[in-house]
Each structure stands twice: as C-alpha cells, then as structure tokens.
Structure 1
C-alpha cells in the first residue's frame, strides 16, 4: 500500500473514533509498527493529526461533520490479503456469467477482482462498489448501474439508507457476493447497514453465488445476512479445510474449489 493511501486510511479511522492506538492501526492497515509510527510522525509534522503517546488523535474540531462510516475492513487492506486465491475465485465466478445477462455484484475485495475477467464481456451489471464500477467503466463495455446513497470511502462502497431506490427496479439472474465469513448458521457480515443493503440487492437476484477465500470459511462475523439455504454456490480455494467444506455441503451448499499453485 502506498504511503498516501495509508495516510488517508489513518484519517478515515480517526474520523470514526477520534483516537487510535498504534496497535490498532497496525492491525487495521496490515502494516508494521515501525511503518505506522513513521506515518504518524510525518502526519503530525504536517498538522494532519495530533500524535500522542501510544497512538494518534484526530484534529477534528467539535461541531464539525462526521463522514459516514461502517464497521469492516478497509478495501485497500482487504485487497492485499489472500490476493492470489481471490483472483482465481473471481476468475471462476466470471465463468458462471453469460453475455447478455443482468447480474449484481456487491462491494468487496474478492468481487472487485471480477473486473479483470469481465473486461471482454457484455453484461448488465448493478454494483454498489464504486471502485469496481470505475474499473468496469474504464476497461470494459459492460453496462454499469450504481445505486444511489452515501459513499463509504474506506470500504469502497455506496449504501443507501432508504428502502425506495433504483435497486428495486433491477432484475438479475445472479448475485455475486463477497462476505466477511461463512459458518453453519449462514453468511455473515460486520455491520447492520451492510446487511440491510445486501438483503435489498439479494431480493433482486434469482441465484446467490458467494466468493469466499479459505480464510473466510468457518469464520463468524457479527450479523447473519442469510441462511445457507439461500446460497446456490460457494466458490473457495484449495487451502480450505476439507472438514469445513464437508459440513457446508451437508447443509446443502454446492461448493466449487479453485486450485492454488
């Protein structure tokens, strides 16, 4: 991750919580403690933040407007984790698309990687990922639709708090979805606003295809998006625990495994 990107993420994190420890920032940004300390020193010298013992504090004044935020990993950080597996999973997912189809793709690091393989396709795509939308607009001739709503920069997505919006008029054959975790109870997510938005998208699709690298299997997040019975296909990688895959298959989930070299 570039220094400029880390600095913006640090500002976004401090906008959410006003104070963040060095330890928290190293975990959130997947960076070393030495790198974070250098970042905080530089940002403090530039008067972007207040550097204090053990971390940093926001310089945001009382009465200033908070930017909207939700729980969940930063997109730029998530994109770097398990990237080889995510790319292969995304490639397999696009193999399930037929030219002329209308599909939905939710925001996430795995689904973002579908953009590379959609470059030469001809589909109608509704996505709440503005980073994926930009990729598709610049590098493909797919028809791209974005829902209205607030921009959540750290996660790279657009979410609407309103029930009545453009999503209700869209009809898709498939929805491709990243997730923060999938367990026997169902597909999980980290924030209730994400749950609301993704359930709205899911209602407009005939089939649900989950893209989840092996680190997401048997990993529980805070909220249940949907039960396993709603999942038509799970695509994961060969590092997945066979016992976990077997448990999911016993619950009726079709699983495809891409082989890592």
Structure 2
C-alpha cells in the first residue's frame, strides 16, 4: 500500500468518526505505528486533518461559526474565576454527606471539587489536576480513572476501557460551549469520556458560566435532554434562559460577588 492510498484510507476513516487513534489506524492500514505517525504529520501539515492528543481529528472548516479551540487547563483556570467560584458554591449545596459522585475534568468542576475535599463523600474523577489536589489537601474518598494522561485537557483516558466500576448519584460535568443542540466540546476525547461517565450516574449536573452560551465548537457531546440540572451565573441572557426552560432543565443561577 503506497502513501497516497494510506492517506485516502485515513481520510475515509474520519468521515465515519470525528476522532481516530494511532491504534485505530493500525487496524485499518496494517502498517507500523511510525509509518502512521508520519502520515498523520503530512496530512496535518497540508491541513487535511488536525493532530490532537492521542491521535487525529477531522480538519475544521474555516467558515465554521464561532469556532474555538479548547484552551489548556492552566490557561482556562484564569478565565471567569468569580463566576466559576459562584457556580461551585451552588453545586456544593447539591451534595449530601455520604454521596458518591463523578466529577469530570474542567476548571469549574475543579473549583467545585475543592469545596468537597474534606467532606464525607466518595469522588470518582478522570482529572489529573483535581486528583493531585485532592490527594495533597483532601480527606474525601477518591477513586481515580486509569489510562494515559492527555496533558492539554488534563484528563486520564484509556482507549479500550468500558465504563468505570463506580456508580454515582450525580455526574458533574463542564462544557466548552452550550447551544440548542446540547453540550459542546472541541476535544474529541472529552466528548467520548463524557458519554462513558454518564452511563454510571443517575443524573447529570452541568456547571457552565454564562460565556459558554455564546460558544459553538465542533462536537455535540450530549443533547440538552440529558441535562437534569444546569448551574450558571447571573450573566445568563433571557434568550438562553428561555432555551433551558423550553428544554425542561432545572436551572440554578449563582450570584457572582456574593458568598465566599
């Protein structure tokens, strides 16, 4: 199989799925990992695919509306801090002592989990920054998802793993964007992991500051109908509040600048 044929097969594979790992492509191309990585580099260089942590994704169109790449965890921590803290405060009120909960990666979820660090709760997380902080400063029961570390979003992910052996009353999830079609992310690994974790929780609580309603990204992770409760800040517009009401989502508004 020559290079042009391999490139065609890789592009065909991305028509069927938004993301493919090197292991996925090994099964398709039957060549060495080194050859696949060279092919990925060439396709990325000419703009036919995007290299992402763990593999490749289909190239984004330049005309896609409000297209934003995900910021690294440390950079995102510096944005809308007051709103995130207010949301975290409201989210803590939903957790009872003795609860078992799942907390996904993301900076709002990180601030929320810190409020639970010394409470009598069981937490499952795939967030390496959160796990490190809870190990250092917390006394809660902590279960950590396994797999490879993807440094940009700061999450642990195992390509071949099924749902975790952990059952929770609630999954607390962040979002890069929110729109009429649902929760959106630009990183394909986060999209995959969100669905996997939700299969082990009774309900989904979305933590998202009001900026997220203006952001449109590549992947719709979950439809609005999957959200039980959404916590956002008091910058939420009337239009977006109506969208949530029409979708039957319980919405909690966190007042920025009050409380701790």
TM-score, structure 1 normalization:
0.70
User: Is residue 230 of structure 2 the alignment partner of residue 234 of structure 1?
Assistant: yes
CA contact (8 A) 1:184 1:218 kept: no
Deviations 1:190-225 (A, max 9, x none): 122221111110100001000000100242211111
User: Is residue 204 of structure 2 the alignment partner of residue 205 of structure 1?
Assistant: no
- Matched residue of 2:89: which SS? helix
User: Is residue 220 of structure 2 the alignment partner of residue 252 of structure 1?
Assistant: no
Give the counterpart of 1:129 among 123, 127, 130: 127
**Alpha-carbon distance in structure 1 between the residues aligned to 2:83 and 2:55:** 28
User: Is residue 120 of structure 2 the alignment partner of residue 155 of structure 1?
Assistant: no
Poorly superposed stretches of 4+, deviation over 3 Å: 66-71
Per the alignment, residue 40 of structure 1 pairs with: none
Higher relative contact order (CA 8 A, sep 6+): 2
Give the counterpart of 1:104 among 91, 102, 110: 102
**Alpha-carbon distance in structure 2 between the residues aligned to 1:169 and 1:210:** 22
Per the alignment, residue 37 of structure 1 pairs with: none
Aligned residues, how many? Answer: 194
How far apart are residue 120 of structure 1 and its match? 2.8
Give the counterpart of 2:174 among 164, 169, 178: 178
CA contact (8 A) 2:103 2:113 kept: no
Per the alignment, residue 79 of structure 2 pairs with: 81
Deviations 1:163-195 (A, max 9, x none): 33xx43110000000110111111111122221
**Alpha-carbon distance in structure 2 between the residues aligned to 1:67 and 1:234:** 29
Q: Which runs of 5+ in 1 are unaligned?
A: 1-65
**Alpha-carbon distance in structure 1 between the residues aligned to 2:231 and 2:118:** 22
Deviations 1:92-130 (A, max 9, x none): 111101111110000001001013311331111110101
**Alpha-carbon distance in structure 1 between the residues aligned to 2:142 and 2:202:** 19
- Matched residue of 1:217: which SS? helix
1:211-222 to 2 correspondence within 5 Å? 211-222=207-218
CA RMSD of aligned residues (A): 1.7
CA contact (8 A) 2:170 2:203 kept: yes
CA contact (8 A) 2:83 2:209 kept: yes
CA contact (8 A) 1:69 1:152 kept: no
Give the counterpart of 1:194 among 174, 190, 193: 190
Deviations 1:41-88 (A, max 9, x none): xxxxxxxxxxxxxxxxxxxxxxxxx97478621001111000110011
TM-score, structure 2 normalization:
0.71
